[in-house]
Chains A and B, each alone.
Chain A
């Protein structure tokens, strides 16, 4: 976070700046609002509940898979990857 309260992270390699305290889900929504992950049968999925219950918003963060974007606050330098 810089002095202006802005956190820089990357979503699918694209740099993005969001206010500190933003969830990863909100950050990802700016880049890929309708496709956080693919279902087992290849259907695009995106957050439904926004409170950690539905598991539809799972993404990779810094190499770790299956993390819920809605429950994870952004951190400086974070690398987020969607749908794989």
Chain B
């Protein structure tokens, strides 16, 4: 009899965080992962730890998570680099919105301040000279997500979790799951399978949202902050069929990681030359010298997107003992620690760290 207190399905950054949190709380945990740990959206991500401030619920989850990410700042596996986030304005309308964004971040417990055009040029000379203002969030950082996921799984296992690696959940049962090798596990189930959520929980709507990334050769000192255009949220949170936004990150190696693109309704993971060109043209507009650098690799990934952009965190209505932590779209790395804490608060009946209502799966089943 394989009795568990929690069966975590999926070992991406979200499932790994939940398994780690559950094992730390003393639960008997099983982890089921058919592929590489952190090998899905986690491996395609930029690893930028960033608070998006345009949705109060998303900001609350990000702030809770960013505080918890501080515990990883000295972990070698995390490759934690506190480069800060620099948001840049390309027109006066965006510049005019900075004060309100600074205020929202400060009110949520973060730190941010506005920069004028001269200050912007001074801290990032390689940005386009016509950019008129910026906002610096100095405490934000980047990590290497797949290694963090692996670290969390190993830590959970060191606390007694059992990893069923290379095994797939064949079906959800009344009292647990059956794996593809016939193994039966008994206990409450937490589905953290990202884009694969509909296979096990088809009643929760989820769409894959394709993205492209490009990485350059090593150019140390070319850029110091992760830089995004202030219009990024319009691309990220808009529901257009396809969009691009400037988002470039200096890796600790001196390489530059360049994004971003968003496309719905595409299953093909192949790099699209036209989408890549559109994304890079957008990047060159903000950082002209990027065009002189050698790109060495381009790849794509799929973000798990819910209809309202918020993750599903909580119990699945009408299904006994079934929990879900999925649908984080492009913020799963940032918000994994907070998601795990909130989930375990709910599972264990603790007072939730933040209001769970905005993330409740029941919101889409009304």
A interface with B by C-beta (< 8 Å): 40, 58, 64-66
Contact = CB atoms under 8 A, between A and B. Distances in A.
A40 B219 CA distance: 12
Q: Is the interface of A mostly helix, strand, loop or mixed?
A: strand
Interface in B250-304: 253, 292-294
Interface residues of B, number: 7
Nearest to A40: B253
B253 A64 contact: no
A64 B293 CA distance: 8
Interface of B: 217-219, 253, 292-294
B219 A65 contact: yes
B167 to A, nearest CB: 36
Nearest to B221: A65
Contacts, number: 13
A58 B294 CA distance: 11
13 contacts: A40-B218, A40-B253, A58-B217, A64-B292, A65-B217, A65-B218, A65-B219, A65-B293, A66-B217, A66-B218, A66-B219, A66-B293, A66-B294
Nearest to B222: A65
A40 B217 CA distance: 12
Contacts of A64: 292
Nearest to A67: B294
Contacts of B253: 40
A68 to B, nearest CB: 9
Contacts of B219: 65-66
A72 to B, nearest CB: 13
Contacts of B217: 58, 65-66
Nearest to B293: A66
A66 B219 CA distance: 8
A42 to B, nearest CB: 13
Contacts of A65: 217-219, 293
Given A64-B292, A65-B218, A65-B293, 10 more contacts: A40-B218, A40-B253, A58-B217, A65-B217, A65-B219, A66-B217, A66-B218, A66-B219, A66-B293, A66-B294
